Amino acid sequence: MFLTIGIMCFIASMIGTISGFGIGTVMTPVLLYFLPYQQTLFLVGAIHWLNSIWKMVLFKKGISWRLFVLYAIPGVLMSIAGAFLSGAGHALLPLLGIFLIVYSSFIFFKPTFFLPQTNTTVIVGGGIAGLSAGMFGMRGAIRSMVLSAFDLPKATYLGTTGAISLLVDSARLYVYWQQGATLDLTYLMILTLIILSFVGAYCGRILVHYIPQKQFRAVIGLFLLIMGIRLIALALF
C-alpha cells in the first residue's frame, strides 16, 4: 500500500508542479482504495500543501505578491458564497467540463490571446474562480484557467499559484484537523512522503525548464482539456 502511495505522491507532485494543479485528481481515486474518505482528503490535502511550499521555494523569484493579494482575497470570500450553492454544483459539473474543453481549445487556436493584468481583471477573475471553487469543490483547475488567461511567465504562474494554494490548503487542512482527521502513518512514512513530494516537484521544475515560454500555456491547456474530458466522462459513466 505505502509503495503505491509513495509513487502516486511523486507523480502527482511532478504533475502539480508542471501544470499548477492536478494533485487531487491524480491521488484521490487511488487512495480511496486504501484509506477511508476523510483520511484520503487529509493526506491529499497534506501533499497539496507540501507541493505549494515546494513551488514557492523553486519559483520564489517569480511570485507576484500583487497578483496574490488581488486574486486571493476575493477568491476566498467568493468561495464561501459558492459553498452555499454547492448543492447545485454537482449537477453542473458536465458544464464545467465543457467550459474547460472550450477554453483549452480556444488557447490552442488563439495562442496570442491574453487578458490584461489590471486590478479589475485580477479581482474579478479571483472572485469568479472562488465562486466556482466553492460550488464545484475544484480549486486548482479553475485557478489555473484564470491565471493562464493572463499569459504569465512560467515562474510567475507557478510561484504565484503556489502562494495562493498554500493559503487555501492551510485553511482546509485546519478544518480537516478540527473535524478529527488524522494520518495513520509512521514518522518514517511521513518523512518519505515529504522527500518524494520534493523530488517530484524538483523533477517537475526540470521539465518546466525545457518547455518554451511560448508553448507553456498550451501545456496548461492540455491538462485543462484532460480535466474537462474527465468531468464529462464521470457524468456520463
Q: Which pLDDT does position 174 carry in this prediction?
A: 82
Query: Which range (79-83, 155-159, 192-196, 210-214) has the least confidence?
Result: 79-83
Tens-place pLDDT, residues 171-186 = 778 877 887 878 877 8
| Integer CA distances (angstroms), 159 to 21, 44, 56, 216, 221, in order | 12, 20, 5, 14, 18
Considering only the C-alpha atoms of the chain, give the largest distance between any 2 of them, rounded to a whole number of Å: 49
* pLDDT band, residue 129 (cuts 50/70/90): confident
Q: Which pLDDT does position 3 carry in this prediction?
A: 86
Tens-place pLDDT, residues 209-233 = 999 999 999 999 999 999 999 888 8
* pLDDT band, residue 86 (cuts 50/70/90): low
Residue 89 has pLDDT above 60, yes or no: no
Tell me the pTM. Answer: 0.89
- Percentage, residues of the chain above pLDDT 90: 48
Tens-place pLDDT, residues 21-77 = 888 888 888 888 888 878 888 898 899 899 999 999 999 999 999 999 999 889 888
Q: Which pLDDT does position 141 carry in this prediction?
A: 85
Residue 237 has pLDDT above 90, yes or no: no
User: Can you tell me the distance from the alpha carbon of 131 to that of 75, in angstroms, rounded to the nearest whole number?
Assistant: 7
User: Can you tell me the distance from the alpha carbon of 224 to that of 100, in angstroms, rounded to the nearest whole number?
Assistant: 6
Which residue has 518523512 as its cell numbers?
A: 191
User: Can you tell me the distance from the alpha carbon of 28 to that of 30, in angstroms, rounded to the nearest whole number?
Assistant: 5
Residue 137 has pLDDT above 70, yes or no: no
Reading the block at residue 223, the C-alpha cell is 491538462
Please name which of 102, 48, 43 lies closest in space to residue 221, comparing C-alpha atoms.
102
Tens-place pLDDT, residues 100-125 = 999 999 999 988 889 999 999 999 98
Reading the block at residue 113, the C-alpha cell is 490571446
User: Can you tell me the distance from the alpha carbon of 213 to that of 203, in angstroms, rounded to the nearest whole number?
Assistant: 18
Reading the block at residue 32, the C-alpha cell is 480511496
Which residue has 473535524 as its cell numbers?
A: 179
Q: Which pLDDT does position 219 carry in this prediction?
A: 94
Sorted by where each begins, the domain ranges of the chain are 2-236
Contacts of 138 (CB under 8 A, 6+ apart): 96, 132
Contact 59, 203 (CB under 8 A): no
| pLDDT top residue among 12 and 86 | 12
Alpha-carbon dihedral of residues 19, 25, 30, 35, nearest 10 degrees? 120
User: Can you tell me the distance from the alpha carbon of 83 to that of 155, in angstroms, rounded to the nearest whole number?
Assistant: 31
* DSSP tag of 180: T
